[in-house]
A = this chain, B = another copy of it.
Amino acid sequence: MIELYLLEYLVKFHELGNLTKASEQLYVSQPSLTRSMQKIENELGIELFNHTKNKITFNEAGELLVKYAQNVLKAHDLMIEKMHDYKNSLSTISIGLVAPGPIFKYGNFLYTSFNLKNVITSIKKEEELIEELLNEKQTIIFINHLFDDKNIVCKKCLEEKLFLSVPKSHFVAGMKNGIYFKDIDGQSFLMSNQIGSWENIVQKHLPNSKFFLENNDNLKELVNSSIIPSFVTNITMNNRLSDERIYLPFLDEDATMPFYIAYLKKNESKLENFLKTILNY
């Protein structure tokens, strides 16, 4: 058996054409390379090089060996790469959501509950999330309805409630008990472009309104410097409170969005810490 380190030396020597240069790149001494090449020749019992007094070059057999040695090293490197990928996948968790609320609420716990390097979150339709959970493309999903399946655990974990955010000067600012969608239909709104299933709800109940979609990075700043109404929820409110604005709860039933957490039964033990944390929260 010709060990990989020898094949590595051989290929590097072939690449650079002389032992001295190869030894520098391999961080070994040059005599060590001489010995290694001799060792390969002895082990195979085939002359691989033309040895002259101060020059060593590959003969036909040596060139042939290099070709195959490269394949062996490639196979080894692929193995290492795939195992690292696998390891990475073990420390990666995929969270799927119908709306971003649960991430705002629970995001921090993901990192404290696991030894995670990567958290992948994606907002998708409920049916798609369920399919991906069953295919193990998602580890945890947050959906709006109870889903019953023998392989899945699904529990209610959260209610997100919608609030209207208006400047104090707005004509509805005095309605402290809350308002209904119909009271403000036709107005224009600043709104996040990543709200998932909330989008259906506001468009259904505010059919005559216009929405200025912004990504989350810009939204808060825009809202604070504008008199246009916008939305917050009980979850996002902590981050977005502004003294200049009044926050009025929507009183419609649809303005309360339930979240159900779902995961594969077989992952229950892995997720134990996280589940304990969020369900008691």
List the interface of chain A (C-beta within 8 A of B).
1-5, 8, 44-46, 61, 64-65, 68-69, 71-72, 74-76, 78-80, 82-83, 86-87, 90
Pick the contact of A79 from B3, B72, B79 — CB < 8 Å? Answer: B72
Determine chain A's interface SS by DSSP, over half rule.
Answer: helix
Given contacts A1-B4, A5-B1, A46-B86, contact A79 B61 (CB under 8 A): no
Given contacts A1-B76, A5-B3, contact A46 B87 (CB under 8 A): yes
State the number of copies, please. Answer: 2
Pick the contact of A83 from B44, B74, B86 — CB < 8 Å? Answer: B44
Pick the contact of A61 from B68, B75, B83 — CB < 8 Å? Answer: B83
The residue among A1, A8, A82 with the most chain B CB atoms within 10 A of its own CB is: A1
Which residue of chain B has its CB nearest to the CB of A81? Answer: B68
Contact present for A83 and B71 (CB under 8 Å): no
Chain B residues whose C-beta falls within 8 Å of the C-beta of A46 in the assembled complex:
83, 86-87, 90
Chain B residues whose C-beta falls within 8 Å of the C-beta of A90 in the assembled complex:
46, 61
